[in-house]
Amino acid sequence: MKKMFKWIAIILVVLFIIGLIAGTDDTTTTGQTAVSNDAAAEPVASETEVVAAVDSGMTKQQKNAVRSAKNYISFAGFSRDGLINQLSSDAGDGYNIDDATIAVDGMDIDYNEQAGKSASNYISIQGFSCDGLITQLSSPAGDKYTKEQAEYGAKLAGACD
Torsional sign, CA 23, 60, 108, 94: positive
Is 70 exceeded by the pLDDT of residue 6? no
Model confidence pLDDT, tens digit, residues 121-159: 999 999 999 999 999 999 999 999 999 999 999 999 999
Could you tell me if 111 and 149 are in contact, meaning their C-beta atoms sit under 8 angstroms apart? yes
The predicted structure's pLDDT at residue 92: 86
Q: How far apart are CA 86 and CA 68, in angstroms?
A: 10
Q: How far is CA 126 from the centre of its chain?
A: 21
Domain ranges, ordered by start, for the chain: 2-109, 112-156
Model confidence pLDDT, tens digit, residues 46-92: 333 334 344 458 999 999 999 999 999 999 999 999 999 999 999 88
Assigned fold of 112-156: Arc Repressor Mutant, subunit A (1.10.10)
Whole-structure pTM value = 0.65
